[in-house]
Amino acid sequence: MAHELVVTLPDGSERRVPPGTTPRAIAQSIGAGLARAAVAARLGGQIVELDRPLEQSGAFQVLTEKDADALYVLRHSAAHVLATAVRRLYPDAGIGFGPPIDDGFYYDFAVPRPFTPEDLERIEAEMRQVVAADYPIVREEVSRAEAQRRFAADPLKLERLGEIGDGETISVYRDGPFEDLCRGPHLANTGRLQHFKLLHAAGAYWRGDEKRQMLQRIYGTAWFSKNDLEAYVRRLEEARKRDHRILGKQLDLYSIQDLVGPGLVFWHPKGAMLQFQLRRFIEDTLLERGNQLVYTPHITREQLFLKSGHLPLYGENQFPAMAAGEGEAEDVRYRVKPMNCPGHILVYAAQQRSYRDLPLRLTEIANVYRNERSGTLHGMLRVRGLTMDDGHIFLRPDQIEDEIFALLDIVELVMGQTFGLTYRLDLATRPEKKLGSDEVWEQAERALEAALKRRGATYRLDAGGGAFYGPKIDIKFDDAIGREWQGATIQLDFQLPERFQLEYTGSDNKPHRPVMIHRAIYGTMERFVGFLIEHFAGAFPVWLAPEQVRVLPIADAQTAPARAFQERLRAAGIRAALDDRSDTLNYRIREAELMKVPYMAVIGAREAEGATVALRIRGAGKKQDVLTQDAFLARVTDEVRTRWRGP
């Protein structure tokens, strides 16, 4: 061991300390304030506890509450405090994994019955006792035999232990009565954990494997300040109110049914209208920009996906093969398609193409099926039947920049102008293992960057993050409550044109290989509509709203003029419904509000006589404007035409 360690502080200065010095001591030597604020430290790339004796030199930084990594340390420790509390209340509970996650932590327990909300209250109270005891969280390195002895009663821990390699350090952390097999890092004491809350419990298969035992997972969150904790709990509450699964049911947009299977969406009339409007918008937009519609088969011979290379690579995500068709050899099998690329390639290849034909832009809103694991499915956001707004562009390498520029224009029109979303672009470039020459990659990456710069777009560079077959631009956006969503991708591909030997005749009369772009704007209809439901909390802009106007006669005498107005709206292409039930007007307005209908057109005796409507606007309370039926119709028509984001 060296006689002296050299730690380099963030300001570049160096400190020489004897081996075994703790980060706490170094922090103390820098300043008492820093030592008090310290949560953990970073040495080299690794986060270490404050009381861990250092044995290596390297870049050194004290982590305080301001560092994002400090939250990770806090939450890791919170998971241990949770397990400590559970073990005190349920001494026989088996323990699985307890990692920190985004915004919180969880811990998996093997217990005979699920935890109830009352159990969680008791456990949280017990956690406060563990915090009050302010146990030091002590790290210890042990031999395999010793670890086996300590966790002899915890088969899940023994299983994990068996996976730790012979050369690896086995570390154990103890806080008070509880001991866990863990790599760390953690807080120095349980008392540092102050602002936390248990959120919910759910069943979870051990290691996410449905063939293994079902454990009970408790989720919690932890923060450094009361304000942060409260703000987070409010965000959760807000997210819960927007949950597309709850709103999807309340607004009668879609269902997923056991008889049919998980991850397969039934679009009810109102949900189907959302999809229809989105399709019209994107198809019109694409057609105006030189795209061409195609339709390709849902099932194909398996050979297609062998040739494309999808089957060997992504076979597990494809549904199993179907028997041969009538009159075909036994060994011919069919597959339902998981993607549209090979189909569009065959359309390209069905003809001799010249350089003048390029770019050839094929687009199809198509259903594909992927055999996602059932544990990962989630409402409309993660499904097995996907409706993609899928497009493939075949082009010459020298056309990449202009084409990307044009695609970014569509992204801006849809995400920015129409939905008012703040989105980010990530440019992912050549990874180490790649297909195609450096020269081709160079040219493509330069073209992508040039297009991004020409658009004046700010983008992040994800160096090395591209797929092996080409660079890409990922689109991410934030919803109304600040959550980030993964949007569509614009992906260049040098591989598939190669596999399918695609060609075009150049101006030199020689055959050349085109480049291919995979692009989607929404991504999938399921995911995008799920996002829109949550983003708008079900209150869609008028152009998108499944029902745009609800006409409400005040009394029976106005039913006929109200119906006439509804019909007039419908004839003008406006989605208008009539509620002429005998319930009170207030009751019917409340119902329309619940269904988040943008406009309620009330027609009483005076309105019927003067061909006017008393207009109520969604969410605006009792306030109402009286305007002529002509003016109202013109107003709504204009709002729909311009895809206005209100009301």
Q: Are 148 and 162 in contact (CB under 8 A)?
A: no
Residue 327 is given by DSSP the state T
Q: How far is the CB of 339 from Zn ion (least distance, A)?
A: 6
Q: How far is the CB of 133 from Zn ion (least distance, A)?
A: 18
Residue closer to Zn ion by CB (options 147, 182) is 182
List helix spans (H) across 45-106: 68-89
Q: Which stretch binds Zn ion (CB under 5 A): 15-23, 287-295, 318-326, 510-518?
A: 510-518
Q: How far is the CB of 99 from Zn ion (least distance, A)?
A: 8
Tell me which amino acid residue 585 is: L
Q: How far is the CB of 96 from Zn ion (least distance, A)?
A: 13
| Tokens encoding 237 | 């509450």
Q: Which stretch binds Zn ion (CB under 5 A): 107-115, 146-154, 426-434, 515-523?
A: 515-523
Cβ-proximal residues to 291 (8 Å cutoff; 6+ apart), any chain: 361, 362, 363, 391
Q: Which stretch binds Zn ion (CB under 5 A): 57-65, 72-80, 324-332, 393-401?
A: 72-80
Find where tokens 């029109």 sit. Answer: 413
| Tokens encoding 236 | 């959760």
Taking the C-alpha atoms of residue 308 and residue 305, their distance in angstroms, rounded to an integer, is: 5
Q: Are 354 and 283 in contact (CB under 8 A)?
A: no
Cα-Cα-Cα-Cα dihedral sign, residues 622, 628, 633, 635: negative
Residue closer to Zn ion by CB (options 353, 518) is 518
Q: Which stretch binds Zn ion (CB under 5 A): 45-53, 102-110, 479-487, 512-520?
A: 512-520
DSSP 396-451: -GGGHHHHHHHHHHHHIIIIIIIT---EEEEEE---SS-SS-HHHHHHHHHHHHHH
Q: How far is the CB of 584 from Zn ion (least distance, A)?
A: 54
Taking the C-alpha atoms of residue 569 and residue 563, their distance in angstroms, rounded to an integer, is: 10
Q: How far is the CB of 180 from Zn ion (least distance, A)?
A: 6
Q: Which of 24, 42, 52, 76 binds Zn ion (CB under 5 A)?
A: 76
Nearest of 546, 553, 592 to residue 254 by alpha carbon: 546
Residue closer to Zn ion by CB (options 236, 311) is 311
Size of the site for Zn ion (CB under 5 A): 4
- 112 cis-preceded (ω within 30 degrees of 0): no
Residue closer to Zn ion by CB (options 76, 361) is 76
Q: How far is the CB of 105 from Zn ion (least distance, A)?
A: 9
Q: Cα–chain-centroid distance for residue 421?
A: 15
Q: Provide long-range contacts, Cβ within 8 A and 24+ apart, for 14-20.
A: 15/60, 17/54, 19/53, 19/54, 19/55, 20/53, 20/54, 20/55
Taking the C-alpha atoms of residue 217 and residue 316, their distance in angstroms, rounded to an integer, is: 27
Nearest of 1, 39, 4, 12 to residue 23 by alpha carbon: 39
182 near Zn ion (CB under 5 A) = yes
Q: Which stretch binds Zn ion (CB under 5 A): 22-30, 52-60, 336-344, 632-640?
A: 336-344
Q: Which stretch binds Zn ion (CB under 5 A): 241-249, 295-303, 511-519, 570-578?
A: 511-519
Q: How far is the CB of 607 from Zn ion (least distance, A)?
A: 53
Q: How far is the CB of 344 from Zn ion (least distance, A)?
A: 7
| Tokens encoding 396 | 């010459």
- Provide the β-strand partners of residue 207: none
Q: Which stretch binds Zn ion (CB under 5 A): 406-414, 417-425, 516-524, 589-597?
A: 516-524
Q: How many CB atoms lie within 10 A of CB 497?
A: 20
Q: Which stretch binds Zn ion (CB under 5 A): 103-111, 157-165, 181-189, 543-551?
A: 181-189
- Binders in 13-42 for Zn ion, by CB under 5 A: none
- Main-chain phi, psi angles of 37, to 5 degrees: -80, -15
Q: How far is the CB of 569 from Zn ion (least distance, A)?
A: 41
Q: How far is the CB of 499 from Zn ion (least distance, A)?
A: 13
613 near Zn ion (CB under 5 A) = no
Residue closer to Zn ion by CB (options 242, 310) is 310
- Per DSSP, the three-state class of 580 is coil
Q: How far is the CB of 208 from Zn ion (least distance, A)?
A: 19
Residue closer to Zn ion by CB (options 76, 382) is 76
341 near Zn ion (CB under 5 A) = yes
Find where tokens 């224009």 sit. Answer: 409
Q: How far is the CB of 323 from Zn ion (least distance, A)?
A: 27
592 near Zn ion (CB under 5 A) = no
Residue closer to Zn ion by CB (options 107, 540) is 107
Q: Which stretch binds Zn ion (CB under 5 A): 75-83, 424-432, 566-574, 619-627?
A: 75-83
Residue closer to Zn ion by CB (options 490, 589) is 490
Residue closer to Zn ion by CB (options 157, 588) is 157
Q: How far is the CB of 556 from Zn ion (least distance, A)?
A: 57
Site string for Zn ion, 467-506 (x = CB under 5 A): ----------------------------------------
229-253 CB burial, b ≥16 within 10 A, e <16: beebeeebeeeeebebbebbeebeb
Taking the C-alpha atoms of residue 632 and residue 542, their distance in angstroms, rounded to an integer, is: 13
- Binders in 120-179 for Zn ion, by CB under 5 A: none
Beta strands 472-478 and 484-493, pairing class: antiparallel
- Binders in 86-115 for Zn ion, by CB under 5 A: none
Residue closer to Zn ion by CB (options 360, 574) is 360
Residue closer to Zn ion by CB (options 76, 596) is 76
Residue 618 CA neighbour count, 13 Å, CB half: 23
- Per DSSP, the three-state class of 302 is coil
Tell me which amino acid residue 231 is: A
Q: Which of 518, 519, 535, 618 binds Zn ion (CB under 5 A)?
A: 518
- Crossing angle of helices 438-454 and 400-411, rounded to 10°: 40
Nearest of 208, 202, 200, 201 to residue 375 by alpha carbon: 208
Q: Which stretch binds Zn ion (CB under 5 A): 48-56, 193-201, 335-343, 586-594?
A: 335-343
Residue closer to Zn ion by CB (options 42, 518) is 518
Taking the C-alpha atoms of residue 193 and residue 136, their distance in angstroms, rounded to an integer, is: 12
- Per DSSP, the three-state class of 109 is strand
Q: How far is the CB of 622 from Zn ion (least distance, A)?
A: 52
Residue closer to Zn ion by CB (options 369, 419) is 369
521 near Zn ion (CB under 5 A) = no
Q: How far is the CB of 633 from Zn ion (least distance, A)?
A: 43
Q: Which stretch binds Zn ion (CB under 5 A): 53-61, 231-239, 333-341, 598-606?
A: 333-341
Residue closer to Zn ion by CB (options 139, 430) is 139
Chain residues in the site for Zn ion (CB under 5 A): 76, 182, 341, 518
